Amino acid sequence: MAGTVAFGSVPTRQGDLFVAVTEDGVACVGWGDRGGWGEGGRAKARVLEGLNLPEVDDPGRTAAVLGELGDYYAGRLRVFSVPVDWRLTSPVQRKVLGTLYETVPYGKAVTYGELATRSQTGVPARAIGSIMGANPIPIIVPCHRVVAENGLGGFSGGEGVESKRWLLTMEGYLQPTLDWD
């Protein structure tokens, strides 16, 4: 699985989203700043280290992913078609996140416990939350669609649970509040 990784970014209503794309597909999506992918560039450095691939400047490789993310945030896209590169996940994470990716469509949600059962991994519901928090490909692999039985649960992307609330409202799973724009 040798190759290279290209990075790109797209502005969204939740801030800039950055992507890391290998020849196999999108390997990482994250929030950050234009100066180095957040945290003073540490997040990008961790992705490079995790992939163990050299970086290339290849806007053509990132164009499809960035276009689909832009369309998703504009309300024009409900199903991502870009290929996913799962190499930043362990086999168990891959099974749980793959189950989420394949079985929970736009506008729907599943509880942590339901996803634990669906994935058939033996991972308890409380550990599903940790897997969601470590999801390297949020939005495309929609960890925001995994909720607690008694509320939204957590979210580690963007502005935390408020980003999750915004995404679920945009998708129509939650009803808009009076201050939602």
CA–CA distance from 130 to each of 57, 72, 104, 106 (Å)? 33, 25, 18, 22
Contacts of 21 (CB under 8 A, 6+ apart): 5, 6, 7, 8, 27, 61, 62, 65, 85
Spatial CB neighbours of 49, under 8 Å, sequence gap ≥ 6: none
Catalytic residue among 143, 146, 147, 168: 143
3-state secondary structure of 95: helix
> Strands across the sheet with 5-12, in order?
25-32, 15-22, 5-12, 55-56
Query: Nearest to residue 28, comparing CAs of 52, 47, 8?
Result: 47
Best CA proximity match to 44, nearest among 7, 69, 85, 11:
7
Whether 28 is a known active-site residue: answer: no
Q: Which residues are tagged catalytic?
A: 143
